[in-house]
């Protein structure tokens, strides 16, 4: 089965699948500097919470390798400055901060400049490998929630290229394909920058998973007429009480799922939980450039000067979420069960 990967460490550089160009062009960028990694994250060349964290971790590795000094204090200071800079690339996905914190701990603990360079690269590779295993485990826990022949709706791209491999919300579909279970996916196009239309359909079609594309505004009608049995999405940050931020449009799907009486699942690794954020109101919601709405593929579709509101994420409140599928199993979205995950 063809399951694409978006971040590859190769010959001391990051090979990064440029997700802005998909599905028409499969092009890998070569990133060798911290500013190049920052720009790739900010401009959505790499996107999806775990993949952002992995790219940033390799960005810290690049920082260390690009500072050849033998003075441990000097290297530490420079690498921590670069790490702080990378943390400003996007605000909502907590995996970015989670991965950078892990990298910072390794930087701070390093006794010599050489060991620092060695250890940060090992840590970035470990973060990537762990995410692949975690995503596969999420898929294993998600698969029993569906039956052969089910129609399942998703939004954005929480697939292989949004993670190390397999994805979170899309993982069960790759596993179902491996095991001969027929699941059909209805993918919302995901305005404004079409991660569903461009990325989710591309990934699932390559793996031979049955996928049908709809616009975001077709979700209610599709639930009613196409026998949708569940909704599954990824998350960028799960608050301590279970409120979950994900790509704009997710909240609406959760409301619709409740209205139709169908389960609404969030699939997210533990690295996406933020116990320091008490609830969804405290999750920072990124607002992006108005041209993402006023233009489509560089062509203007709205009048010059129109006011624009372009939040990239929204929050599905815990009471609309049936369960959160993690690598440790499916949990109820409440403070007690989430705290227990980390105990």
CB–CB of 273/341 below 8 Å?
yes
Q: Which residue is nearest to ligand MRU, using beta carbons?
A: 234
Before 23, cis peptide (omega within 30)? yes
| Least distance (Å) between residue 312 CB and ligand MRU | 5
Look at residue 215 and give its three-state secondary structure.
coil
Task: Burial-class residue 15 by CB neighbours within 10 Å (0-12, 13-18, 19+).
Answer: middle
Residues 6+ apart with CB under 8 A from 118: none
The yes or no reply on residue 236 touching ligand MRU (CB under 6 A) is yes
- Of the pair 78, 163, the CB lying nearest ligand MRU is at 163
| Least distance (Å) between residue 225 CB and ligand MRU | 25
| Least distance (Å) between residue 156 CB and ligand MRU | 4
Where are the extended beta strands (E) located within the chain?
A: 7-10, 13-17, 28-31, 151-154, 184-188, 210-214, 228-233, 237-239, 244-247, 264-267, 273-274, 295-296, 299-300, 313-316, 323-326, 329-331
| Least distance (Å) between residue 283 CB and ligand MRU | 12
d(CA 150, CA 152): 6
| Least distance (Å) between residue 98 CB and ligand MRU | 13
- DSSP strand pairing (295-296 vs 299-300): antiparallel
The yes or no reply on residue 200 touching ligand MRU (CB under 6 A) is no
| Least distance (Å) between residue 148 CB and ligand MRU | 25
Given 234, 242, 249, 323, the residue binding ligand MRU (CB under 6 A): 234
The yes or no reply on residue 242 touching ligand MRU (CB under 6 A) is no
Q: Which residues pair with 185 in a beta bridge?
A: 152, 211
Which of 131, 236, 274, 314 is the catalytic position? 236
Given 56, 103, 127, 156, the residue binding ligand MRU (CB under 6 A): 156
- Of the pair 168, 229, the CB lying nearest ligand MRU is at 168
Given 83, 119, 128, 163, the residue binding ligand MRU (CB under 6 A): 163
Residues present in the chain in total: 343
- Of the pair 119, 168, the CB lying nearest ligand MRU is at 168
Active site residue 236: yes
Given 6, 83, 195, 222, the residue binding ligand MRU (CB under 6 A): 195
String of contacts with ligand MRU for each residue 303-322, x by CB under 6 A: ---------x----------
Q: Which of residues 9-68 bind ligand MRU (CB under 6 A)?
A: 47-50
Q: What strands, in cross-sheet order, belong to the sheet with 13-17?
A: 7-10, 13-17, 28-31
In 3D, which of 42, 44, 265 has the Cα closest to residue 170?
A: 265
CB–CB of 190/155 below 8 Å?
yes
The yes or no reply on residue 6 touching ligand MRU (CB under 6 A) is no
Residues 6+ apart with CB under 8 A from 29: 14, 15, 16, 18, 36, 40, 45
Given 53, 59, 167, 172, the residue binding ligand MRU (CB under 6 A): 167
Positions marked active-site:
236
User: Residues in the site for ligand MRU, rule: CB under 6 A?
Assistant: 47-50, 93, 156, 158, 162-163, 167-168, 195, 234-236, 246-247, 312
């Amino acid at each position: 089965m063809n399951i694409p990967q978006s971040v590859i460490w190769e010959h001391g550089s990051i090979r990064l699948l440029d997700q802005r160009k998909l599905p028409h062009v499969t092009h890998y960028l070569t990133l060798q500097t911290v500013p190049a990694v920052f720009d790739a994250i900010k401009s959505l060349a790499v996107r999806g919470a775990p993949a952002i964290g992995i790219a940033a971790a390799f960005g810290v590795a690049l920082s260390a390798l690009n500072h050849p000094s033998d003075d441990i204090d000097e290297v530490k200071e420079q690498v921590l400055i670069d790490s702080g800079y990378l943390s400003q690339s996007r605000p909502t996905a907590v995996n970015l901060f989670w991965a950078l914190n892990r990298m910072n701990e390794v930087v701070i603990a390093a006794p010599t400049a050489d060991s620092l360079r060695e250890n940060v690269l090992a840590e970035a590779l470990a973060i990537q490998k762990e995410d692949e295993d975690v995503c596969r485990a999420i898929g294993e826990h998600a698969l029993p929630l569906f039956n052969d022949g089910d129609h399942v709706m998703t939004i954005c791209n929480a697939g292989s290229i949004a993670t190390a491999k397999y994805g979170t919300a899309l993982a069960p579909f790759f596993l179902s394909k491996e095991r001969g279970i027929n699941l059909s996916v209805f993918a919302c196009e995901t305005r404004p920058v079409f991660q569903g239309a461009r990325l989710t359909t591309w990934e699932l079609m390559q793996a031979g998973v049955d996928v049908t594309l709809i616009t975001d505004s077709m979700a209610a009608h599709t639930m009613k007429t196409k026998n949708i049995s569940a909704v599954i999405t990824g998350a960028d940050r799960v608050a301590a009480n279970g409120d979950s931020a994900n790509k704009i449009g997710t909240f609406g799907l959760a409301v619709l799922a409740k209205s139709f009486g169908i389960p609404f699942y969030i699939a997210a690794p533990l690295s996406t939980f933020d116990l320091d954020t008490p609830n969804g109101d405290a999750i920072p919601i990124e607002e992006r450039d108005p041209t993402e709405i006023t233009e489509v593929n560089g062509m203007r579709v709205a009048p010059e000067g129109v006011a624009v509101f372009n939040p990239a994420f929204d929050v599905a409140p815990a009471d609309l979420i049936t369960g959160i599928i993690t690598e440790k199993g499916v949990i109820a979205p409440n403070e007690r069960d989430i705290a227990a995950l980390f105990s």
